[in-house]
Every structure is written in C-alpha cells, then in structure tokens.
Amino acid sequence: MIEIVRGDITKFPAEAIVNAANRYLEHGGGVAYAIAKAAAGDVREYIRISKAAIREQLGKDWIDHGEVVVTPAMNLERHGVKYVIHTVGPYCGGRWDAEKREKLRKAVLGALRKAEELGVRTVAFPAISAGIFGCPLEEVVRTFKKVMEEFMKEAKNVEKVYLVLYSEEDYRRALEVL
Ligand code: ADP
C-alpha cells in the first residue's frame, strides 16, 4: 500500500496530494510554496484561497496538528490531482522526541482520514517536517510507516499512498529506513 518514490510532488499524479503546511497556510517556502505556485500560478492567490478554506472548514484562522484543510487542485488537475490536503507537522529544529512523533502521527493520520472521506484512491505525501521544520528524515519516514500500518486497517477507499522524496539523497535514506 505504501511506495517510496523520488520526484517533485507538484508533478505527481495522485488524486490527493498532501501539503506540509504551516498553521496559517502562508505557503512561504519549501514544498508549500511549490504546491501553491503549481496550483494557482500566483502564490498569493493560493494563500488567499487557503485562508478562506481554513475559516470555512475549521471556523478559525489556524490549523492544529491533526486538523486538515482541503483546497482545490486548480492547475494540478492536469496531472489528475483532485484535492490538496494541508496538514501541519511538528517543528523540530533538529530535535526529536515522543511529543514530536505524536504530533507527526496526528498530522499524517489526519490527512489520510480526510483522503478516505474524500473518496480518493491514491494519495501522495512529502516528507512532512523534514525540511524547514528540521525533523530528522529517518524518524519522519519511520513514523510515516507506523501510521500507515495503523491506517491500513481502516482504509476502504484509499488503495495506495506514495511518499515522494525530492532529493536523490533523501530518497536513498528513506529506502534504507523501509
Ligand atoms: P516542513 O516545514 O514541514 O519541514 P518543507 O517544505 O520545508 O516542510 O519540507 C518538507 C520536505 O519536502 C523536505 O524533505 C523537502 O525537501 C521536500 N520538498 C520540497 N519541495 C518539494 C517538492 N516539490 N516535492 C516533494 N518534496 C519537496
């Protein structure tokens, strides 16, 4: 059910792609900026859409770990993407502990459950929190794998989940973990 691939998630043909967002959906850098740019062309426009979506879907202006917000795929539809699911992983700054693992577990599981609710069959994840948020990639991949084992028992619509690693180096390290 889980497959590790190397590539650019903005070009990946999954029905739902997950964004490693910050809690206000500012899409200021990393994969969030790349997704916003690819989806809307104008990043500021996608930020506007995203902030309206938080208000509408959560009734507040931020996202907690485990909560998710869905925005339209816009230009990503050309790759077969239907939804972008925004989730917020932990900030690590190089440190890792049980609390960060739990926050990441919630973030990944929340996105998977939303994908299930949306009825999609395929979902692509980036290495949430392993970039600007500074969590160790190996721990992120290990946590991802554990959550997948948990989710598999409840999945009905989702058939396949991809973990998309951007760099060759990260891809190699992730493969070693699995
Ligand atoms: P976070 O703030 O959650 O750490 P980042 O966007 O900084 O989020 O990084 C998360 C991961 O996404 C990093 O491993 C980074 O290399 C990767 N990444 C960045 N751009 C892309 C992309 N276009 N496709 C897939 N992964 C990407």
Q: Which domain holds residue 44?
A: 2-177
**Minimum CA distance residue for ligand 1 atom 26:** 166
Q: How confident is the model at residue 167 (pLDDT cuts 50, 70, 90)?
A: very high
The tokens for 79 are 């790759």
Per-residue pLDDT tens digits for 46-83: 999 999 999 999 999 999 999 999 999 999 999 999 99
The tokens for 119 are 């009825």
Is 165 strand, coil or helix? strand
> Which bin fits 105, alpha (ψ -120 to 50), beta or left (φ > 0)?
alpha
Tell me whether 0.90 is exceeded by the ipTM: yes
Which DSSP symbol is given to 178? -
Instruction: Select from 166, 167, 171, 172 the residue to mutate for testing ligand 1; criterion: most ligand atoms less than 8 Å from CB.
Output: 166
The domain that contains 149 carries what CATH number? Answer: 3.40.220.10
* CB contact set of 160 (below 8 Å; sequence gap of 6+): 1, 2, 3, 121, 122, 123
Can you give the pLDDT at residue 178?
86
* Tally of domains in the chain: 1
Whether residue 166 has its Cβ less than 6 Å from ligand 1: yes
Which ligand 1 atom sits closest to the C-alpha of 167? 16
